[in-house]
Amino acid sequence: MFVELNGGEILVEITVSGPPGSGTSTLVEKLAHEYSWASINGGDVFRNEANNRGLTVGQFSDLCKNDLEVDKSLDNMLKNEIGNPLGAEIIESRLSGWWAYLMDVDCLRVWVNVSPEECARRIQNREGGLYEDKLILSQQRQIDDKKRYQILYDIDLDDMSPYSLIIDADNIGADEVLSIVQSKIRK
């Protein structure tokens, strides 16, 4: 049973989280299409904010590292969306599962896990460039994000306890990940 707040309206149905390159965006697109659900992609929010500020994603990421209030404002927007009874049914971000858990929202909280090497391969396929460079950048981003979330929220990204479904997606495709998630969606 989903948690009912704000006059009995059902809040978010599912959160999707995972490291960059894990396939969370693809999963969200497939779920949104399959169920005709609205979605918010934290990566898109991040990229849009970078663009609004006239910055590259890398520059904006550096800004977030140096000005933690910027990161907090984006996270607050996602938290508000999770608690919005008229909001999207799917919320994707690295911390969306944590936010739903901490807000006591009873929804399916998915973590899509892939190895650093698979993340780098997927990012390279999406963006081009050298695999070795993508691996180094991906690993550094993971380290930076872990430090930032620990400082900002005392959240350990290695702690999987908030997630109701953890999928090891190293050796499976997007359709199989979708199928696993669909088997757990409560209707």
Q: What is the mean pLDDT of the chain?
A: 89
**Tokens 């199989």, residue?**
176
The token pair at 185 is 């969606």
70 within some domain: yes
- The CA distance from 88 to 63, in Å, is 28
174 within some domain: yes
Q: Are 3 and 102 in contact (CB under 8 A)?
A: no
- The CA distance from 31 to 29, in Å, is 6
- For residue 155, give the CATH number of its domain: 3.40.50.300
Q: Per the structure, how many domains does the chain have?
A: 1
58 within some domain: yes
Which domain range does residue 135 map to?
A: 4-182
pTM above 0.85, yes or no: yes
pLDDT in tens, 143-156: 988 998 999 999 99
Among candidates 38, 184, 19, which has minimal Cα distance to 118?
19
Q: What is the pLDDT of residue 47?
A: 85
129 within some domain: yes
pLDDT in tens, 39-76: 999 888 888 988 999 998 778 888 887 888 888 888 89
